[in-house]
Amino acid sequence: MKANNYKEYFKPFISRENYINKLIPFIDKDIIKVLIGQRRVGKSYMLFQIIEHIIQNNPTANIIYINKELIDFDFIKDYKDLIEYIRNNSINGKIYLFIDEIQDIEQFEKALRSLSAEGKYDIYCTGSNAQLLSGDIAGLLSGRSIEIKIFSLSFKEFLKFHKLNDNDEALHKYIKYGGLPYLVNLKLDDNVIFDYLKNIYSTILFKDVVSNQNIRNVYFLEKLVQYIADNTGSIVSAKKISDFLKSQKINISSQVVLNYLSHLTNALLVFKVMRAEIQGKKIFETGEKYFFEDIGLRNSIVGFKQVDIAKILENVVFLQLLISGYDVSVGKLGENEIDFVANKNGEKKYFQVAYLLSDKTTIEREFGNLLKIKDNYPKYVISMDNIQGNTYEGIQQISLHEFLLNF
């Protein structure tokens, strides 16, 4: 079989314009396109979307598709197997090469470098590891690659995928179940959705962390994830976790905690967000926050409880900022904390997140922290309140609903 084997694996998809628009400028360019994201966020379907775009513009395009999650490609173990398969299935002329979950191929970067140097391959690949293009791999590819992050569905995409009307009920479903694309095939019911999400969580934990990192203390790893889920949006440190575990008669060193946290972030189950001084450039090396890539996974681990609504909303806002292309940190101003400092294209924005601005104390705290920042960058307070009026001394109050749809 020579090229165009993708047809037997191709599946219908719902278009995600935000990502295809980022990729289109790099089609037919001599640069490897790497799509990075947690398992089940839709990376494979993004490859199908790119393939369809290419075929629409060039119906005779020659395409080779490899998916390491399929048993059909089990025989591709390392870069030599990969090179052999591709050359045996290539024809004369340009080849569009798509490789799904490439991190499961040993020393794949050697194959990519060689194929890229030949000049006849336009290469696209996906991976479920945050370190895919870091360190030695980035050096071997030496400027030949670009990374595009794929996230779970935004609220706007959630409405489109599930064909839901834009209302408070739909928003509630989104913050409860999250945005993994496959949910479109399931009934939006607690038992059905959380059973599915628990299985996805187990796959990520055991395949991308336990197996890949040869983790022995699986019990501690699971307890660590539960701790992060319970403390979403709270300041966390390895020492604080280690001390807590000692109080539970579990003796784990701070270094082991740090190692396990690193494994979880590399698997893209959670994001680590550092604190930074607002008036200065100091980055604090301890006391970071952790947020989940998909809020539904977080809720499947420790439950969706009203008492946790503030931390859940903070996670949802954080994800939307990432989806919108911002670099995000936690702001520190003296003894005060700013939930998020978001940077994009040299511009900065500040955000505080609250459930409801229902009393004077809450209003003074959320707006007061922002008022202490002595610069002219935009400042926002986001809450579930539907009433929107004038600014509070120049600080804009917006509803979570509006933020997720329009920011």
| Average pLDDT rounded to a whole number, residues 17-27 | 96
pLDDT of the residue at 362:
86
Query: End of a domain among 149, 174, 193?
Result: 149
In this predicted structure, the answer to whether residue 136 has a pLDDT above a threshold of 60 is no
Residues 145 and 169 in one domain: no
What percent of the chain lies above the pLDDT cut of 70?
95
Give the span between the Cα atoms of 155 and 173, in whole angstroms. 10
Query: End of a domain among 116, 149, 182?
Result: 149
Residues 242 and 320 in one domain: yes
**β-pairing, 327-333 with 336-344?**
antiparallel
Residues 102 and 166 in one domain: no
In this predicted structure, the answer to whether residue 348 has a pLDDT above a threshold of 90 is yes
pLDDT tens per residue, range 90-105: 888 899 999 999 999 9
Residues 145 and 65 in one domain: yes
**How far does Cα 31 stand from its chain's mean position?**
23
- Enclosing domain of residue 363: 155-406
Residues 322 and 210 in one domain: yes
Give the span between the Cα atoms of 122 and 27, in whole angstroms. 7
Residues 244 and 367 in one domain: yes
Residues 341 and 368 in one domain: yes
pLDDT of the residue at 173:
98
* Whether the Cβ atoms of residue 154 and residue 296 lie closer than 8 Å to each other: no
pLDDT tens per residue, range 325-335: 999 999 998 88
Residues 37 and 90 in one domain: yes
pLDDT tens per residue, range 291-307: 999 999 999 999 999 99
pLDDT of the residue at 354:
94
Residues 124 and 209 in one domain: no
pLDDT tens per residue, range 249-263: 778 888 889 999 999
Query: End of a domain among 100, 126, 149?
Result: 149
In this predicted structure, the answer to whether residue 382 has a pLDDT above a threshold of 60 is yes
Mean pLDDT (the chain, rounded): 91
| Average pLDDT rounded to a whole number, residues 147-175 | 97
337's CB contacts (< 8 A; 6+ apart) are 275, 330, 331, 369
Domain of residue 20, CATH code: 3.40.50.300
**How far does Cα 243 stand from its chain's mean position?**
29
Q: What domain count does the chain have?
A: 2
Residues 286 and 332 in one domain: yes
pLDDT of the residue at 2:
59
| Average pLDDT rounded to a whole number, residues 206-226 | 92
Residues 93 and 164 in one domain: no
Query: Which bin fits 398, alpha (ψ -120 to 50), beta or left (φ > 0)?
Result: beta
pLDDT tens per residue, range 1-14: 456 778 888 888 99
pLDDT of the residue at 394:
84
- Model confidence band, residue 137 (pLDDT cutoffs 50, 70, 90): low
- Model confidence band, residue 138 (pLDDT cutoffs 50, 70, 90): low
Residues 129 and 162 in one domain: no
Most distant CA pair in the chain, distance = 72
